[in-house]
């Protein structure tokens, strides 16, 4: 049980495995200002940057759950680096089946709603771990501009236009699920660039060091196509944000 190697190659230098900069992640923490001691469950936690930095900056405690052994190793190293290893822990597991043993004040899934087969299922999964009055954090892409054709849809790594909503439609969906949207912090084009463009250098450095690897042809093809695809499609059409929800 692990992520394909291509994921860890692309994101080898990333601390945040989504289109957020460290500044936006810090802003998100500031907007909700969790009280010290708040427990946070982070499903599909990646390299644990949110949990580790919020433990340092806000005194939260909690657990990150992820399927990637590479990302979990990085998360534990980050916790030690920031001096919060006694306040956070990381579990190697399929996040889609994980429910906290005790209710938490914040339940999060940042950019991985496939663990619940979409937004609705992920909200329901997070609710199973959430204490009354707690907050859910959902990271989710949306159409920044509606795509005009199928080429644009596929250029944004989607199969169908209906795979994503516009931002107003996404906010309406949260409401239809019985949630108040109480905050949001969204990526901009620059933070998308920092996430995606950094992958190109990661891939190139990996290719230079591993020219005979069985993934080399696949990663070379990706690097050749990715910059134009990002500029033509993803940068213009894809939005992404973290939405803070509370049950009504």
Residue 3: per-residue pLDDT: 87
pLDDT digits (tens, 9 = 90+) for 163-221: 999 999 999 999 999 999 999 999 999 999 999 999 999 999 999 999 999 999 999 99
pLDDT digits (tens, 9 = 90+) for 6-56: 999 999 999 999 999 999 999 999 999 999 999 999 999 999 999 999 999
Mean pLDDT of the chain: 97
Cα angle 175, 180, 183; round to 5: 120
Domains of the chain from N-terminus onward: 5-247 (3.40.50.150)
When pLDDT is cut at 50, 70 and 90, the band that residue 89 belongs to is very high
Going by C-alpha positions, the residue among 59, 67, 64 that lies closest to residue 76 is 64
Q: Which helix (H) or strand (E) holds 53?
A: helix 49-58
Question: At residue 1, does pLDDT exceed 80?
Answer: no
Angstrom distance (rounded) from CA 11 to CA 14: 5
């Amino acid at each position: 049980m692990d992520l394909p190697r291509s994921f860890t190659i692309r994101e080898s230098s990333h601390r945040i495995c989504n289109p957020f900069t460290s500044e936006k992640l810090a802003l998100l923490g500031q907007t909700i200002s969790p009280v010290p001691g708040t427990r946070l469950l982070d499903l599909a936690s990646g390299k644990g940057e949110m949990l580790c930095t919020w433990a340092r900056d806000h005194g939260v405690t909690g657990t990150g759950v992820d399927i990637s052994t590479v990302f979990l190793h990085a998360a534990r190293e980050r916790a030690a680096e920031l001096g919060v290893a006694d306040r956070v822990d990381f579990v190697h597991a399929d996040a889609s089946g994980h429910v906290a043993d005790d209710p938490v004040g914040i339940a999060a899934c940042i950019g991985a709603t496939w663990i619940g087969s979409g937004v609705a299922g992920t909200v329901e999964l997070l609710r199973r771990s959430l204490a009354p009055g707690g907050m859910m954090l959902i990271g989710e892409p949306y159409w920044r501009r509606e795509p005009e054709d199928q080429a644009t849809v596929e250029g944004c790594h989607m199969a169908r236009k209906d795979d994503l909503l516009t931002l107003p439609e996404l906010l309406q969906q949260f409401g239809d699920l019985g949630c108040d949207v109480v905050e949001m912090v969204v990526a901009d084009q620059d933070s998308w660039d920092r996430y995606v463009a950094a992958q190109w250098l990661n891939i190139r450095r990996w290719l230079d060091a591993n020219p005979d690897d069985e993934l080399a042809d696949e990663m070379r093809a990706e690097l050749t196509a990715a910059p134009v695809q990002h500029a033509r499609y993803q940068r213009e059409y894809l939005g992404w944000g973290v939405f803070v929800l509370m049950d009504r």
